[in-house]
Structure 1
Amino acid sequence: MKTIAMIPARYAASRFPAKLMQNLAGKTVILRTYESTIATKLFSEVYVVTDSDIIYDEIISHGGKAIMSKKEHKSGSDRIAEAVANVDCDIVVNVQGDEPFTERESLEKVLEVFKGDADKNIDLASLMVEIKDWEEINNPNTVKVIVDQNDFALYFSRSPIPFPRDKSVDSKYFKHKGIYAFRKQALLDFTVLPMQFLEATEKIECIRYLEYGKRIKMVETNVQGIEIDTPEDLERAKRLWK
């Protein structure tokens, strides 16, 4: 089973423009993410896929591998689907460019899902981590996920799910971490499936897979890490890196 990693990397970002080129302990965020992914030693190849000459040059100048997108894309899945269309591989792992704390343990858990799925019933696998802080649970920048009894995703939302109407119920809340592992065909299917209203409303691309009946296996991890969405996140990342 040949596994590769793709890191979609846009230069523009609505909440934090040029965030991937910000300095994190002497290196850019995108370079830190690329090097962390390489360091897991789980992949045959690791590529950064970008629409930006600046990001492309950053990776290439440090001896890395990068692919220029041929066109603008609405999502990271669309961007890496273009890049892998002619690449020989079975599993594609999408590592978000703003995840410099990417580490081996969590990625291994995601990849293990496919080793036990001989009938290929699982289209995607992804990570979730339990959160208990109510500020984070209510933060729309934190995507939450609910799962069934077998840990298949039922829904993703920026709202708190489940809604705690009955405070006596011991509800758990899980944050969706932006790392996906796809069967290559599921990723290619995504690009030809039109966006529906749930995805358009929430602005969460993995909802599209659920709307079209794809099965997403969620794997729990204890590794929080930091996704760099805001300048405040970057400052937290700098402190944690030290």
Structure 2
Amino acid sequence: MRVVVIIPSRYGSIRFDGKPLANICGKPMIQWVCERATQAKSIESVHVATDDSRIRDAVDRFGGNVVMTSSKCRSGTDRVAEAAERLGLNPGDIVVNIQGDQPLVDPRCFDAVVKPFYEDPAVKMSTLAFAIVDRREITDPKDVKVTFDNKGDALYFSRATIPYDRDGSNIFQTYKHLGVYAYTQEFLACFRGLPPGHLEEIEKLEQLRAMEHGYRIRVVVTPYDSPEVDLPADIRRIEEKMAGMGLC
């Protein structure tokens, strides 16, 4: 069973054009994500999937692997699925999908998200959650929340606060969803062909499509946060964290 990371990457963005190539501590952001993924113990190879020559050229310059995909991909998952096909993966191989805007992702996150596939043959898709420590994230719609059952299978993902403490008298942990997914190649191809879901359209959360069609998503809680860069203003915050970690 091969385990590969595929990072979907596009140049255009309404809020942050050219985000994958944004300079963070002297490197393009996409390079940080590639290098962090390469450090994971369970990963065989790391590939950037893009349709943009500027991103391809940047990845070539730092010695990364690029898979060129169609400009007609509807989503990052579609891009990952197309790249996985081009790589000739087998149905039982594992594909890890991470967005290229998480330059501080901990390499151990990749090992954690693929672990369920070795422990439970019924798992076809998995993702990560982090126990929120910044109270602002509980109510911020930018930070997606997740709830899961006693087995660890997701019950729901939402931009709203879930669970909601009606009486304000309970003490409980709220979990943030981290944008790292793993799938078998077989399920990824299946997921790509599913029609968009109603809840997916409302929340603008692609993972809800799988749940709306009756598929389970195993959630792994990790102690390692993976902050995203959504806007140019976020770069300074990320660089400060990197400086504290001795990365720049």
Same fold, TM-score > 0.5, yes or no: yes
Q: Output one character per residue of 1:176-233: Cα deviation in whole Å (capped at 9) or x when no partner.
A: 0000010111110111111021101111111001011111110111111321112232
2:156 aligned with 1:171:
no
Structure 1 unaligned blocks of 5 or more = none
* Paired position in structure 1 for 2:28: 28
What is the count of residue pairs matched by the alignment?
A: 240
Q: Between the two proteins, what is the percent identity of the paired residues? A: 37
* The 10-residue stretch of structure 1 (10-19 or 123-132) with the greater mean CA deviation from structure 2: 10-19
Give the letter aligned to residue 143 of structure 1.
Answer: V
2:103 aligned with 1:100:
yes
* 3-state SS, counterpart of residue 219 of structure 1: strand
2:15 aligned with 1:15:
yes
Structure 2 unaligned blocks of 5 or more = 244-248
* The 10-residue stretch of structure 1 (138-147 or 223-232) with the greater mean CA deviation from structure 2: 223-232
Quote the offset at 1:78 in angstroms. 0.8
**Cα distance in 2 for residues equivalent to 1:21 and 1:164:** 41
Quote the offset at 1:88 in angstroms. 2.2
Give the letter aligned to residue 228 of structure 1.
Answer: V
CA contact (8 A) 2:105 2:225 kept: no
Alignment of 1:188-227 (within 5 A): 188-227=189-228
**Cα distance in 2 for residues equivalent to 1:66 and 1:238:** 26
Alignment of 1:132-151 (within 5 A): 132-151=133-152
* 3-state SS, counterpart of residue 193 of structure 2: coil
Alignment of 1:74-89 (within 5 A): 74-86=74-86, 87-89=88-90
Alignment of 1:110-189 (within 5 A): 110-117=113-120, 120-189=121-190
* Paired position in structure 2 for 1:63: 63
What TM-score does the superposition give when structure 2 sets the normalisation length? Answer: 0.92
* The 10-residue stretch of structure 1 (224-233 or 90-99) with the greater mean CA deviation from structure 2: 224-233
CA contact (8 A) 1:67 1:83 kept: yes
* Paired position in structure 2 for 1:229: 230
**Cα distance in 2 for residues equivalent to 1:102 and 1:57:** 23
Q: Output one character per residue of 1:97-140: Cα deviation in whole Å (capped at 9) or x when no partner.
A: 011112222221211111112xx311111110011433211111
* 3-state SS, counterpart of residue 157 of structure 2: strand
Tell me: CA distance 1:235–1:111, structure 2 relative to 1, closer, same or farther (3 Å).
same
* 3-state SS, counterpart of residue 241 of structure 1: helix
CA RMSD between the two structures: 1.3
* 3-state SS, counterpart of residue 152 of structure 2: coil
Quote the offset at 1:92 in angstroms. 0.3
Find runs of 4+ consecutive structure 1 residues off by over 4 angstroms: none
* 3-state SS, counterpart of residue 99 of structure 1: coil
